[in-house]
Structure 1
């Protein structure tokens, strides 16, 4: 049996071939940790399991960050091929989105125990995530417009990854704001709404293009099967973010001239969240049907399969949030079904990832395919 990386020809080859796609793994694992922690029906060891998944997310994010930094430092010649690549560059948005999962876990699992020091750490990491998200949301589209080559026929939901990052950071602001002083909370929530609007407006435009591409050119190639789920991501994150920002607003602006507006934001969060949940439901059903279509043939595994997990996980969290706000059992049962599906998908994708990692099959950077073999 081949051991890890035995197919690579030099010790640091896997560093050179490391891609930002791997950060999608931290997104899927981190959102699963939150889903387990927020299940409306508790079970023995629930929080231990959720925290264990979060620590795995932290470990993976730290490891991937080191590998990616090492690639950029040791193999600087690979930077522009990655930025010019019409698919690899999109996954730069996965880095801040993975970091937000680390931040949310800090607030959920460690801050209640260790207090202010962990909140301060989460606050600092949130600003880092903001910078990275804006860099992806502004920089990658700029490269699309000036350097990369795209045609409508090859458009997929992967285009959404860099512009959805600010929306995910906005939901992180809503989770962090209740732990901060009023002035800091007001700043974060204000920025959160700005990021939410920046991201969702562009996401709607791209989703329209994805629909047009599907109508004209049908489903993408087998390698991009998971991209059918990606439009669910901004809709689900938009729903969760609008609800979370609205819930955090009244406390942040309590006793100020904007208290009335903050209370209205909470009510609008519910109405807007229900509307976005409905839009996400359409994509959930459509993506499930697309996946069934792909499964009639054998799907080749790649890291893009992690795209099955994060959109489904965020939609599950949004469903739980609606259940808490409305008290309707309907959302609880739908959320539990989605959570069960998420667990099964995560287990499948993790198993296939470990298999590919063991055989050294996943360290292949498409952006370097035209360069000399190493």
Structure 2
């Protein structure tokens, strides 16, 4: 018995010891991993607005490395395990995480603007991001309607992921527009992306409220999904405020100066309203998380769902505080960034441990194998 325990402990010290073979790390790789680039990316963006800007830049560089690594591994899965990889389109949960890919890329593009001022490269990548985000927002729901099996009692806020990608790209477009030649086109596309996302996300949240009231909380493995509702709300608020900031300069340069004030007003008022709505979801998600913690909360890659929603809500809070010149709102924004940093450290450490052991390489769409 003692020898068996020693052997088990020895296996735990070996990399990917929980996998039958190291190549299984590629075979079992799913888009879920890109949620890590979302969480790391939003932390880098948030820290850029604090005295820890240099730390934020380091996280941005780390995020580029993570995104490149995950892209390489996921491409390898499609090349060498095509039959297994294509099953993702029929899976009602894993397919939702395709939205994480353009959202992770958007945080890198934002960093190009914030830390490098590289508008040319940022614009090129942004158009790529726009196409991926729009494709996710349309193709994944279409597959939900035609080939996947969904049930209200099994619904979670994961449904939001493919839809929210468009509004994340819209925020990036608002940052980019004042610095490029085709500013009006970028601004128009960004408003369109916002409209492709936010109203649909709000519709999903209505159904989600009904599902939670009737069927109660989902399984503990989906606990982090309680925070995902905060994502489209925070990003929607940030998008309106960012686009409202960019619109006056762009409109004035194209003979549309009469509409500048309206764009700013819609940005501020709409941002305040959505921010207030987000406050309700923040409180609800915190209460739900507390309940899960008391009952036991198993770790999985879904824990990265705690990071991006809190991060984007924190950045929206700082933006709102700047526009209103209210110190209390800005203080709240900085407090949320501190919370985000603590959560990121906890989730990152657990992820490193789970990755080393190979426990996190699980593709649910292959379970029938």
TM-score normalized with structure 1 length: 0.94
* 1:123 CA drift (Å): 0.7
Partner of 1:25: 36
C-alpha distance in structure 1 between counterparts of 2:358 and 2:260, whole Å: 52
* 1:119 CA drift (Å): 1.5
Structure 1 residue matching 2:21: 3-state secondary structure: coil
Partner of 1:227: 225
Partner of 1:336: 334
> Which residues of 2 match residues 267-282 of structure 1 at below 5 A?
267-282=265-280
* 1:256 CA drift (Å): 3.1
Structure 2 residue matching 1:253: 3-state secondary structure: helix
Partner of 1:84: 90
C-alpha distance in structure 2 between counterparts of 1:141 and 1:176, whole Å: 28
* 1:9 CA drift (Å): 2.6
* 1:11 CA drift (Å): 3.8
Partner of 1:15: 26
The equivalent position to 2:48 in structure 1, one of 37, 50, 54, is 37
Q: Which moved more, 1:234-243 or 1:7-16?
A: 7-16
Q: Which moved more, 1:247-256 or 1:288-297?
A: 247-256
The equivalent position to 2:64 in structure 1, one of 34, 55, 58, is 58
Partner of 1:158: 158
> Which residues of 2 match residues 311-330 of structure 1 at below 5 A?
311-330=309-328
C-alpha distance in structure 2 between counterparts of 1:38 and 1:241, whole Å: 17
* 1:287 CA drift (Å): 0.3
C-alpha distance in structure 2 between counterparts of 1:50 and 1:19, whole Å: 27
C-alpha distance in structure 1 between counterparts of 2:367 and 2:122, whole Å: 38
- 8 A Cα contact 1:3 1:360, kept in partner: no
The equivalent position to 2:207 in structure 1, one of 202, 206, 209, is 209
- 8 A Cα contact 2:19 2:359, kept in partner: no
Structure 2 residue matching 1:18: 3-state secondary structure: coil
1:49-96: CA deviation from partner (whole Å, max 9, x where unpaired) = 010000011000000000111111111102331110100000000000
C-alpha distance in structure 1 between counterparts of 2:303 and 2:355, whole Å: 14
- 8 A Cα contact 2:39 2:308, kept in partner: yes
> Which residues of 2 match residues 1-374 of structure 1 at below 5 A?
1-39=12-50, 42=51, 46-111=52-117, 118-181=118-181, 184-371=182-369
1:263-316: CA deviation from partner (whole Å, max 9, x where unpaired) = 310121000000000000100000000000100022110000000000000000
1:89-129: CA deviation from partner (whole Å, max 9, x where unpaired) = 00000000000001000111112xxxxxx321111110111
Q: Which moved more, 1:262-271 or 1:142-151?
A: 262-271
C-alpha distance in structure 1 between counterparts of 2:342 and 2:71, whole Å: 27
C-alpha distance in structure 2 between counterparts of 1:328 and 1:231, whole Å: 26
- 8 A Cα contact 1:223 1:300, kept in partner: yes
- Aligned residue pair count: 358
Residues 358 and 186 of structure 1, relative CA distance in 2, 3 Å threshold: same
C-alpha distance in structure 1 between counterparts of 2:173 and 2:368, whole Å: 41
C-alpha distance in structure 2 between counterparts of 1:335 and 1:241, whole Å: 16
C-alpha distance in structure 1 between counterparts of 2:222 and 2:170, whole Å: 27
C-alpha distance in structure 2 between counterparts of 1:8 and 1:350, whole Å: 21
* 1:240 CA drift (Å): 0.1
